[in-house]
Structure 1
Amino acid sequence: MENQITDTSVIFKYDNGMMLEQFDQIVSEFPVTIFLGGEEFATMVCTPDNLEELIYGFLASEGVIRVYEDVKSLQIDEAKGYAYVELKNNQCISKEYHSKRFIGSCCGKSRQFYFHNDARTAKTSTSQIKLTPNQCITLMKDLQNSSMVFQETGGVHNAGLFSQDEMIINRADIGRHNALDKILGYCVINRIPVRDKIIAFSGRISSEVLLKAAKIGVGIILSKSAPTNLAIKLANDLNITAVGFIRGSSFNVYSHCYRITEK
């Protein structure tokens, strides 16, 4: 039986001096354990939809695969919360490799906070795409209006993949990383080129979110919230335009402002 994205719960709501019993929609939280070549590799806690995309995106983000064809087979047992992945090339994937910090520098810049796999998979953007200020505002509004799960529960992060003029796909999840991995997995499965695309995101642009955008390969990330200082440093390093606080008719550009232009 397929897992439900939302569940119904009895709650007590205080409103205008009264405590009222009512039903409310609550977002589901579901653990999925990935077995890679028969060995337990990782467990993710996620919103249980688009699990195939999530797994492909997570493996691509971790540098385990690069293209769809790298996976020989994928079987998902939703009842147990297990995903069994067999790769075409049964290379040894070290858990230690995927958890140790990589302490180093890159041409004297700020990449000392990467994991090993981040240093291998985060791409410096070569995107030539540009947006007008009005496009930034419109795309952010489109993302906010697109997620029924958020409107029902208020309990998920939203991410969308856009061209200059329209949404290609949007995904929601309780985990901000998962929402972005679902986007990446969709691109891997459907072989969608991403250099000329944009990511819009509902939450704060942390360094980890910025790195996810770099792994997807886009040149612009839009958000209604703020970036962290490390995210800005990484955006400058990776040639990514980070736009935040998109609210109403205003926003801030934190890096590589040349991609936001009236022309």
Structure 2
Amino acid sequence: MTAPLLVQPDPSDPRLTRRVTGLDHTGQAVETSVTVEAPLTLYLNGQEIVTMMTIGDRPADLAIGYLLNQGMLAPGDTVTAVDYDEDLAVVVVRTAQKTDFEQKLRKRTQTSGCAQGTAFGDLMEGFADVRLAPDAVLRTSWLYGMLRAINTLPTLYLEAGAIHGCALCRQDAPLVYMEDVGRHNAVDKIAGWMFTTKTSPEDKIFYTTGRLTSEMVIKAVRMRIPILISRSGFTAWAVDLAREANLTLVGRCKGKRFVALAGESRIVFDTDPDAVPPEDARHWRRNSRDAEAAS
């Protein structure tokens, strides 16, 4: 039996989904769950930074991770407090040192992230200086085991759909699973959790349901995680950046199939794909519970 994750979704949380009535394709009345999204405004030391659309869980992790991945916080900075006001939909991150966020705010780059992800400052700042763990390994037995474990998690995706998921794993074991309406938010939540818990990245594997874009690669490299895996496909710039950073990039990862386009030397093929059981497609059918109830 898979050990409980350190952090995982709570699909039963009434704040995260809402029941809505409508009609199905036959004209019959149907009730279904939909994901709740709402604005969250982030402040850094009294300066308003950005308003994000999010499902509203783990605001502290999201805020810290966002600031880290935008380069507004450095890994060595000291966060003295994170204050969240649910009624005002505001989260304030306070640090011991002044930051250069005013300069960062002058340069904005629209990214390909869902829910209108925006990156401030120079996206490539410090990218070439990062050295990912050269001795990190991805065994295919870990990959298939990790996918099976993630595939059986209770998730908001199964409950309501319209959401992305990301997992932080060690070998074949997921440690943390985060979800949000934009994959960049789910990534940032994990980055914030790693910062707060002082979790080392060198032996970790990052999994996402979203596309492998330049933004995803840059964030993985910023987080110093050497292996990035997705169910989805790649963009050309993401592949180029992953090769430049020696990031192991694995996409189109479904069932027993995958494609690696960067960092292939880290992969150890220790499992016969023919021995891997087929993936349960029902897990990835949006609103699967409603679909089964209607059938």
Same fold (TM over 0.5): yes
User: In structure 1, which of residues 120, 125, 143 is the aligned counterpart of residue 126 of structure 2?
Assistant: 120
1:196 maps onto 2:207 in alignment:
no
Q: How has the CA–CA distance of structure 1 residues 155 and 98 changed in structure 2, closer, same or farther, with 3 Å as cutoff?
A: farther
Q: How has the CA–CA distance of structure 1 residues 208 and 92 changed in structure 2, closer, same or farther, with 3 Å as cutoff?
A: closer
1:208 maps onto 2:219 in alignment:
no
User: In structure 2, which of residues 42, 61, 64 is the aligned counterpart of residue 56 of structure 1?
Assistant: 64
For residue 24 of structure 1, what is the aligned residue in structure 2? 32
- State the distance in 2 between where 1:95 and 1:33 align: 19
Which has the larger displacement, 39-48 or 128-137? 128-137
1:73 maps onto 2:81 in alignment:
yes
- State the distance in 2 between where 1:70 and 1:245 align: 38
- Cα deviation per residue 1:190-229 (whole Å; 9 max; x = unaligned)? 1100111000111211111111111111111111111111
Shift of 1:96: 4.6
Which has the larger displacement, 41-50 or 177-186? 41-50
For residue 4 of structure 2, what is the aligned residue in structure 1? none
Which has the larger displacement, 141-150 or 117-126? 117-126
Contact 2:33 2:159 in 1 (8 A): yes
Contact 2:143 2:172 in 1 (8 A): no
1:5 maps onto 2:2 in alignment:
no
For residue 158 of structure 1, what is the aligned residue in structure 2? 165
The percentage of aligned residue pairs carrying the same residue is: 24
For residue 141 of structure 1, what is the aligned residue in structure 2? 148
Q: How has the CA–CA distance of structure 1 residues 98 and 199 changed in structure 2, closer, same or farther, with 3 Å as cutoff?
A: farther
Shift of 1:66: 2.7
Gaps of at least 5 residues in structure 2 are 1-12, 110-119, 271-295
Q: CA RMSD in A?
A: 2.3
In the TM superposition, structure 1's runs of 4+ consecutive aligned residues that sit over 6 Å from their partners are none
For residue 239 of structure 2, what is the aligned residue in structure 1? 232
- State the distance in 1 between where 2:134 and 2:60 align: 27
Query: Given residue 145 of structure 1, which amino acid in structure 2 is its aligned partner?
Result: T
- Cα deviation per residue 1:21-41 (whole Å; 9 max; x = unaligned)? 122111111111112222211
| Number of equivalent positions | 248
- State the distance in 2 between where 1:77 and 1:121 align: 34
Which has the larger displacement, 192-201 or 147-156? 147-156
With normalisation by structure 2, the TM-score equals: 0.78
Q: How has the CA–CA distance of structure 1 residues 3 and 42 changed in structure 2, closer, same or farther, with 3 Å as cutoff?
A: farther
Contact 1:158 1:173 in 2 (8 A): yes
Contact 1:161 1:199 in 2 (8 A): yes
With normalisation by structure 1, the TM-score equals: 0.87
- Cα deviation per residue 1:126-152 (whole Å; 9 max; x = unaligned)? 242212223222223322332520101
Which has the larger displacement, 138-147 or 151-160? 138-147
Query: Given residue 247 of structure 1, which amino acid in structure 2 is its aligned partner?
Result: K
- Cα deviation per residue 1:8-57 (whole Å; 9 max; x = unaligned)? 1112112xxx2111221111111111122222111111111111111111
Contact 1:147 1:158 in 2 (8 A): no
Query: Given residue 162 of structure 1, which amino acid in structure 2 is its aligned partner?
Result: C
Q: How has the CA–CA distance of structure 1 residues 162 and 26 changed in structure 2, closer, same or farther, with 3 Å as cutoff?
A: same
1:242 maps onto 2:249 in alignment:
yes
